[in-house]
Amino acid sequence: MHDVTKVYQLEGIEVRALCGVSMDIHEGEMVSIMGPSGSGKSTLMHIVGLLDRPSAGVVSIEGEVVGDLSPNQLAALRNEHIGFVFQSFNLLARTGAQANVELPLVYGGVSGAERSRRAREALERVELGDRLNHTPGQLSGGQQQRVAIARALVTSPSIVLADEPTGNLDSRSGVEVMGILQDLNAQGITVVIVTHDANVARHSQRIVELRDGVIVRDETVADRLDAHDEMSQLGMNTAADVEAVLGTAGDAS
């Protein structure tokens, strides 16, 4: 984005949420957008995610300037490239995990059998292949956020945008969610996390800090946290760990 400004009109009063923000997010990067409440993080994410348009400035994604696109073209670009994860999970309450994950494909006109196959595959990627029919109420907060991540992945996006993905989670579930986001990034997906939490941000390669709609810091993270190391320090085992141990035991015998 180049020189992006966003002004909201609220009952005749102008609120400047972003003032001349320029930044590149590179393919395959994991970036955190940090800053206190009201600094413009969500506004930035909505603009990067093509959910909202800037008041001034240029946004381009994969070389395409998005300013000239119609709402339908924007929606198509968004559906093709971007997956969203929100603080409050935004899952349908009376609907099972698999059906929640299938939703973005319903609007995409994918056949029922294909939807089901892709939803199950996405749930396996977040280690919930054994919870296909659980409704959100039957899942922990961390599991609900993993369902939401699977829903973001089901369209095979090249970019995942997460707005305070650990905001409603206890610290263990938060680390688990960060582990999944780090795994996705290691698999080549560009990950952008919005957070006010410095510890969450330290899981990225780069931190961009906003204050009052202006970038005040843009730095590489020197002491990056590895969520999988943190999980083993906390004595947490992931399904992948268990498989690795069983695999080794099998080889030895």
Ligand X SMILES: Nc1ncnc2c1ncn2[C@@H]1O[C@H](COP(=O)(O)OP(=O)(O)O)[C@@H](O)[C@H]1O
Examine residue 165 and tell whether it contacts ligand X (CB under 6 A): no
- Match 């800037």 to its residue by tokens: 54
Angstrom distance (rounded) from CA 85 to CA 164: 8
Q: Which among 7-15, 59-67, 170-178, 184-192 is the span making contact with ligand X, rule CB under 6 A?
A: 7-15
Q: 173: closest CA among 143, 134, 153? A: 143
The alpha carbon of residue 53 and the mean position of all alpha carbons in its chain are separated, in whole angstroms, by 20
Q: Which of 21, 32, 43, 61 binds ligand X (CB under 6 A)?
A: 43
Interacting span for Mg ion (CB under 5 A) from 40-48, 101-109, 196-204, 215-223: 40-48
Could you tell me which stretch among 36-44, 63-71, 105-113, 224-232 binds ligand X (CB under 6 A)?
A: 36-44
The reply to whether 81 sits near ligand X by the rule CB under 6 A is: no
| Amino acid at residue number 111 | S
Task: For residue 173, state whether it binds ligand X (rule: CB under 6 A).
Answer: no
Instruction: Pick one of 32, 39, 42, 145: the residue that binds Mg ion (CB under 5 A).
Output: 42
**Whole-number minimum distance, CB 237 to ligand X, in Å?**
35
Place of tokens 């990950």: 191
First to last CA, the chain: 56
CB count within 10 Å of CB 116 equals 17
- Footprint of ligand X on this chain (CB under 6 A)? 8, 10, 15, 17, 35, 37-43
